[in-house]
Structure 1
Amino acid sequence: MNDKNILKNGSCENIGNFKINTYVPTYIIVFIFGFLENLFCLYVFLKLYKKKTVFSIVMVNLTISDLLFVCTLPWRVYYYYSKQVWILSNYWCVFLTYALYLNMYCSIYFLTLLSILRYFAIVHPVKGLKYKNVKNVQIICIAIWVSVGLTAIPFLGIGNKKKQCFELSDKIMDIKIVLTMNSVALVLGFIIPFFIFTVCYILVAKSLLTSKPNRHKWNNSKKKAIARIIVILVIFITGFPIYHIVRTIYLAEILPKKNVSNVSCTMQKAAVATLCRAVVNPCLDPLLYYFAAETFRDKVRSTFKGCPTLMQQT
């Protein structure tokens, strides 16, 4: 049977076109803006920060993770623009899948680490000094890369349909591996980090609200801080949680039906849409730097203020 016909069978005949029309423009936009934004952020962190801080170290790692993440997207654009025909090596396809999930979960952990550091900086500033050690944070960042990289290795053993890529194989063994991987990712890569991230920022907001501020200062600094926390929580919560919930339900439907094409059309399209939302995060993370780090805001403002001067000098 022709591979293109496989896509037309089952309960969702137009899922192939839906993927093409959804993924291609999303991936192109995210690649362009995500690449430029994170490249600029990396320049700010590496060139304009005179002294390394625990926050800048984590944000550099998050930026690198996001850059690597968006660099996998052109290959996905190529695949879906070619009407889901993969003519390159299967090993390259498997590696791209591995790289996408590696960088996605590294990003989640770096965001979680930022929330922990923010918690200690605001709620326990004195006690947190012993945790705000540059060397220790560097070791933690390396540990995140290594642990997530090792945990994602099973993705390298998952096959694809003939002449296709980024499509789940119909082999029962591959489906079981993906279900197991999803269970691990759900707990270690989402539920635990999500819980820590949310609790840390809620406690930070509570600390700001219950502190005894000068009434005049409250209207400005405290309200801005609370607004920033709300923005950070909205960006994180609207991205990864919905994606993980839908993906879990989607994969749970596959095993008893023994074929991806037999999964309900609504669930297949929901899986596509929520993946697109999760993929948008590299474009939104620079907003977290801007809202969460005052030093970063100052560096960005000074950079743009200096642009007219540089233009005149040239």
Structure 2
Amino acid sequence: INSTPVCPSIDDFRNQVYSTSYSLITVFGLVGNGFALVVLIKTYRQSSPFHVYMLNLAVSDLLCVMTLPLRVLYYVNKGQWNHGDFLCRISSYTLYVNLYCSIYFMAAMSITRFLAIVFPVQNLRLVTETRARLVCVGIWVFICLSSSPFLMAGEHFDSITNKTKCFEPPNQAQGLKKLVVLNYLSLVTGFVLPFLVILLCYAGIVRTLLSRTHAARRQRGAGLRAIRMIVIVLLTFLISFMPYHIQRTVHLNFLSRTDTTCSEKVAMQKSVVVTLSLAAANSCFDPMLYFFSGEGFRNRLSSLRKSTTGSNQLRTTRLKPVAALESGENHQAS
């Protein structure tokens, strides 16, 4: 990365951290999101707008996690790419699609919770499954199209190391200028704007919950679920998304400088490795969101467990009350 030969290489550090972190993320991401997806699909008859967003978020995470083993192999092979140009481009692309789809689905979930708690009457009319599906289609199309520049960077041969490379930033000044522009566009549209929307929604939710003096027990339950969701989403942003976006912006500006020292370059390169690993780990936080942000998911889980152990007669009688509870919760706490 724009370094002079005298600077020590961080390749060993990079290969170890990436191969370890991506392996762990693959395991936890596949188990957590795969399990959530099975529960959500099996209980689809109890569908709600929040359920639609959870389903799409789980699919996005799984698509990303399934490409991570290719990154693990790349770093285990000490930075040698052996899987062709197409897979190099797809592996880069899916990581960014997942990153920004996660942010936008979290924003959509936050708006849904906000409307349910702050405007419960209008929520009955405004928030529907059909609208949630349309929002999801819009998010997929927007993110897939706006992330398409990441498909432009494929594999390339490095004459210095005599290796075929992937996932490496360009050394040319022209390529760097394009990356800086791309970074600012994705920073504003992919991170800052949805994060502001989320913060505004949470401010409204907290204000409404604090102003309630004699809330019904059920409303208090909805409030608790909203608070849990606020905590998980904000933690995901603070741990995964924010450090990555700040570091990426600082790093790209750093690369265009000519007065940098070796120690600064090494520190900057190591911080890239750590923050990108944390960004990829967002796939592991999302299953927590499904489980803790709504009583609905746990009800789905218990109804699924009962339906698999009980007889056909028990299955039909036990699913009905849960479906009714879910639809009620959708209007109250979605």
TM, length-normalised to structure 2: 0.82
2:170 corresponds to which residue?
A: 169
Equivalent of 2:87 in 89, 92, 111: 92
- Cα distance per residue 1:199-221 (max 9 Å; x no partner): 21222122112112359889977
1-structure distance, mates of 2:3, 2:156: 11
2-structure distance, mates of 1:23, 1:59: 28
Secondary structure in 2 matching 1:239: helix
Are the aligned partners of 1:57 and 1:138 in contact in 2 as well (CA < 8 Å)? yes
Change (3 A) 1:54 1:267: same
Distance apart, 1:267 and its partner CA: 1.4
**What code does the residue aligned with 1:155 have?**
F
Q: Which moved more, 1:100-109 or 1:154-163?
A: 154-163
Long gaps (5+) in structure 2: 158-163, 312-334
Are the aligned partners of 2:244 and 2:279 in contact in 1 as well (CA < 8 Å)? yes
Distance apart, 1:256 and its partner CA: 3.2
Equivalent of 1:55 in 32, 38, 50: 50
2-structure distance, mates of 1:243, 1:122: 32
2-structure distance, mates of 1:141, 1:221: 24
Are the aligned partners of 2:113 and 2:226 in contact in 1 as well (CA < 8 Å)? no
2:184 corresponds to which residue?
A: 183
1-structure distance, mates of 2:228, 2:148: 39
Distance apart, 1:91 and its partner CA: 2.9
Change (3 A) 1:40 1:171: same
Secondary structure in 2 matching 1:126: helix
Change (3 A) 1:216 1:39: closer
**What code does the residue aligned with 1:111 have?**
M
Change (3 A) 1:224 1:140: closer
- Cα distance per residue 1:275-303 (max 9 Å; x no partner): 11111111110111111121102222444
Secondary structure in 1 matching 2:299: helix
Q: Which moved more, 1:238-247 or 1:151-160?
A: 151-160
Change (3 A) 1:170 1:296: same
Distance apart, 1:32 and its partner CA: 0.9
Distance apart, 1:224 and its partner CA: 6.4
Distance apart, 1:173 and its partner CA: 2.1
1:253 corresponds to which residue?
A: 254
Distance apart, 1:40 and its partner CA: 1.1
**2:104 maps to 1:104:** no
2:326 corresponds to which residue?
A: none
Distance apart, 1:135 and its partner CA: 1.6
Where do 1:3-14 residues align within 5 Å? 9=5, 11=7, 13-14=8-9
Distance apart, 1:170 and its partner CA: 0.9
2-structure distance, mates of 1:102, 1:227: 26
**2:99 maps to 1:115:** no
1-structure distance, mates of 2:179, 2:124: 41
Which of 1 and 2 has higher RCO (CA within 8 Å, sep 6+)?
2
Where do 1:193-232 residues align within 5 Å? 193-213=194-214, 225-232=226-233
Are the aligned partners of 2:42 and 2:304 in contact in 1 as well (CA < 8 Å)? no
**What code does the residue aligned with 1:267 have?**
M
Change (3 A) 1:167 1:262: farther
- Cα distance per residue 1:15-54 (max 9 Å; x no partner): 1111111111111111011011111111111111323211
1-structure distance, mates of 2:190, 2:128: 25
Change (3 A) 1:228 1:192: closer
Secondary structure in 2 matching 1:297: helix
1:37 corresponds to which residue?
A: 32
Are the aligned partners of 2:117 and 2:223 in contact in 1 as well (CA < 8 Å)? no
**2:17 maps to 1:22:** yes
Distance apart, 1:59 and its partner CA: 0.9
Are the aligned partners of 1:108 and 1:189 in contact in 2 as well (CA < 8 Å)? yes
| CA-atom RMSD in angstroms | 2.8
2-structure distance, mates of 1:258, 1:86: 32
Secondary structure in 2 matching 1:197: helix
**2:187 maps to 1:192:** no
Q: Which moved more, 1:234-243 or 1:294-303?
A: 294-303
Q: Which moved more, 1:228-237 or 1:62-71?
A: 228-237
1-structure distance, mates of 2:143, 2:101: 7
- Cα distance per residue 1:209-262 (max 9 Å; x no partner): 211235988997755653453233222332201110011101111123499x99
**2:150 maps to 1:155:** yes
2-structure distance, mates of 1:279, 1:111: 16
Distance apart, 1:129 and its partner CA: 2.6
1:131 corresponds to which residue?
A: 126
**What code does the residue aligned with 1:16 have?**
D
Structure 1 vs Structure 2: percent identity of aligned residues? 35
